[in-house]
Amino acid sequence: MRKVDLLYLAMLFLVLLLHYIVPFTLLRECSGFELYTYWLLLAIAWIIVTGVYMEKRVR
Amino acid sequence: MLTAPFISLLAIYIAMGTIIALVSRRFGVKSSADYFVAGYRLGGFLASMTYAATTYSAFMMVGLVGLAFATGIAALGFELAYLIATMGILATVGPTIWRLARERGWVSPSEMVSDLYNSQILGMAIPVLYLVALIPYVAAQLKGVGEIFDVVGLGYGVGIVVALGLVLLWTLIAGVWSVATTDAYQGIWMLGASISVTLWLSTALIPSSNLDVSRIVEVLRTTASGNLLSNTWPINVFIGFTTPWLFFAITNPQVVQRLYMPRNSRAYRGMVRYFAIYGLLYTALVVLIGLAFRAYVASMLGREMEIHLVKNRDMVTPYMLSLASPLLAVFTFVSIVAAAISTANSIILSVASSITRDLYERRARVVKQQTSRVIAWSSIAVMSMAAAIIALAKPAFIVELSVLSAALLLPLAPVTLVGLYLQPGSKGRVPALSALLSIASGFAIMLLAAIVYGAKKALITTWLGIPIPLWVLIVSTLIIALGTFISRCESR
């Protein structure tokens, strides 16, 4: 397994952790659409990272 | 009032879909590889659209709108957990499966596990697992169609019969070619409807009730179910519901099989990219629809109606559309039929491929294409009818049925991952036996829980503070890990 693959897997675990932990801690009580925006931005960021990774990795 | 426009639009939808399915026959179906995996030659766009339409079922516009309406923004986290994990799987495990499928000539999803562990017994056991786990899922799709027909005044039973007919027609015409092309067509219909409903809510219904953004926020913070802008799901419910979803991409045969199909690496990347964009947009819109309509109901129709719809959340979408123009309502209803059909026929075709390949073609000395075709068609017909009979009994909530199906297939996740990376092409009894034990144990735990607690409670009940789906994953992983350890000790 190459370094870039390990880095991608580590990021996957980190993103999933953030997806689960933040809504139960920092964003437990929301007064607006903060949680909606947070989850959406996290998913968008992850899609971009995955796109970049696949361009390099899947040939 | 909606009956006539619904019949008209449904007729157009069926006619166009059937023309598309008939045209797809020109791609040519000679072997079971052509019939079930398009001869490994799908382009990026078609691959992505069939992946999206197969994944996103009646669950979205009926189940997820209702879930967002009843429980708030947590529904977005639940669905996006799936998308994030699926992106991870499609970028890492997916390319390995795609490459091995063409190298080894895999056609059915169970053939992959059977080949990785060099075990015919696994190839026979997994199709049975698919049948038990996925027929309720298909039934949930047909139930969605039945409910739409009921709402427009055509009757629940008529909806089941029409859905059954469409599944059979579009599957039998050209196998996965007709399924993939009609999936692409239906996927566009589904996304188009969700965009139209969002536009209608934001430009017509919400403004007509004098709700602005600040008022919507205020209403959603103070609903009968609490602050819907916060995460209202307890942690055990969130984990219990999302765990089966995280591994959906490598446990559910209809999506695993789609990894075999892209014609080259460029098409594979295209499939992942377009699916991600589709999934994100569709999910964000569907949750927004549920939330916006909850704000409307809470502020305009009173607490009694709000609570009634929370208790009957599968009726939220039909009720919402009863307030829309007939054209938008029937367009969306037909999109829900499309979502249900595109998922149901993909599942049925995928399970039929497992039965045909693993129970006949890989065991027969001489494979006759005519016999393969008869087995495939019979499997498709029997499964469709079984699902229709279950759907007629009106099973539990669509969301729970969908997640329960994924939970029953969860033990396939560790078995597939170990087979791909730790024991590829392993010989000897221990790896295959441990894989079989791992699948059987995980499946038994989930099935037992579903029987004892019921579909919904099985997903959220905890043992020693751990949700049952997580137990399934832990037990299955431990068994396959132990098998791998013993196998490695033996080989040394």
- Domain chopping of chain B, boundaries: 2-399
Rounded Cα distance between B356 and B254, Å, is: 15
| Mutant choice from B64, B82, B92 vs A, greatest count of A C-beta within 10 A | B92
**Chain A residues within 8 A of B280 when measuring between CB atoms:** 40, 43-44, 47
pLDDT at B406: 81
Asked if B177 and B25 touch (Cβ cutoff 8 Å), the reply is yes
Pairwise CB contact (< 8 Å): A42 & B227? no
Neighbour tally for A24: CB within 10 Å = 14
pLDDT at B400: 65
Does residue B85 sit at the A interface (CB-CB below 8 Å)? yes
Pairwise CB contact (< 8 Å): A35 & B287? no
The two tokens of residue B36 are: 């079930």
Choose which CATH entry (3.30.1950.10, 3.40.640.10, 3.40.1010.10, 1.20.1730.10) describes domain B2-399: 1.20.1730.10
Does residue B315 sit at the A interface (CB-CB below 8 Å)? no
Neighbour tally for B402: CB within 10 Å = 24
The CA–CA distances, whole Å, from A13 to A8, A40, B275, B329 equal 9, 17, 21, 41
**Chain A residues within 8 A of B85 when measuring between CB atoms:** 12, 16
Does residue B199 sit at the A interface (CB-CB below 8 Å)? no
pLDDT at B174: 87
Rounded Cα distance between A59 and B266, Å, is: 7
Range B163-176 burial, b when 16+ CB lie within 10 A, else e: bbebbbbbbbbbbb
The Cα of A33 is separated from the nearest Cα of chain B by a number of Å equal to 6
Rounded Cα distance between B136 and B214, Å, is: 42
> Is the pTM here over 0.90, yes or no?
yes
Pairwise CB contact (< 8 Å): A47 & B276? yes
Pairwise CB contact (< 8 Å): A16 & B76? no
- Report, as ranges of residue numbers, the positions in chain B whose pLDDT lies below 50: none
List of residues 6+ apart from B54 with CB closer than 8 A? B183, B254, B255, B258, B342, B343, B346, B347
pLDDT at B311: 93
Does residue B229 sit at the A interface (CB-CB below 8 Å)? yes
pLDDT at B81: 97
pLDDT band at A34 (very low <50, low <70, confident <90, very high): very high
Q: Which residue has tokens 């919904």? A: B456
pLDDT at B10: 96
Rounded Cα distance between B316 and B322, Å, is: 10
Q: Could you say which of A31, A36, A46 has the minimum Cβ distance to residue B84?
A: A46
**Where do runs of H (alpha helix) occur along B315-423?**
316-321, 326-356, 369-392, 398-408, 412-421
**In sequence order, what are the beta bridge partners of B463?**
B466
Pairwise CB contact (< 8 Å): A19 & B92? no
Structure confidence by residue, pLDDT tens digits, B410-446: 999 999 999 998 866 566 788 899 999 999 999 999 9
pLDDT at B22: 94
Pairwise CB contact (< 8 Å): B81 & A23? no
